[in-house]
Amino acid sequence: MPDSKSPVRLEATVSLREITRETVNSILNLRVTEAQEQFVASNAVSIAQAHFSEEAWFRAIYADETPVGFLMLSDQPDTGEYFLWRFMVDAQYQGSGYGRRALELLIEHVKTRPNAKELFLSHVPGPGSPQDFYRKLGFKHTGEQAGEELVMKLILQ
């Protein structure tokens, strides 16, 4: 099993993979920077919540054979509601393009789902917030809030 902190190539192939008994510990060991911890729940909390939620679709983000992140989608095909519930890239791998490629893969996945017209997400505002990252991918603020978080959406073409 690859070490979760092993070096990876910038041109690595990014993929979204199911988390298995063999890979779960490497996903649990991934961490954002200390300053980002206020913006996203731990992978342990996310995976636990996913196992008790019928609409959760979650995957590990890999660069080649190295786990570099995690994402979770609220997948509700009956209503056509798709919401990026969690997204994180390990601090060591941020800025390498892996997160952007992972979200592009997620967007492509959502486009294949029934009734998919929009993909939503929310983020905690403030310094260090991921809002600029999401804007670069085409997400726009809706003017709505989910608790303390600002809601953004991407129109799927």
Digit-coded pLDDT (tens) for 72-88: 999 999 999 999 999 99
CA distances from 19 to 26, 134, 139, 140 (A): 10, 25, 27, 30
Domain boundaries, the chain: 14-155
Q: Please report the pLDDT score of residue 7 as a whole number.
A: 62
The CA radius of gyration of the chain, in Å to the nearest whole number, is 15
Total residues belonging to the chain:
157
Q: Are 58 and 16 in contact (CB under 8 A)?
A: no
pLDDT score recorded for residue 6 = 54
Low-confidence ranges of the chain (pLDDT < 50): 1-4
- Amino acid symbol at 93: Y
pLDDT one-digit tens code per residue, 19-42: 999 999 999 999 999 988 888 899
Structurally, at CATH architecture level, domain 14-155 sits in 3-Layer(aba) Sandwich (3.40)
DSSP state at residue 13: P
DSSP state of 113: S
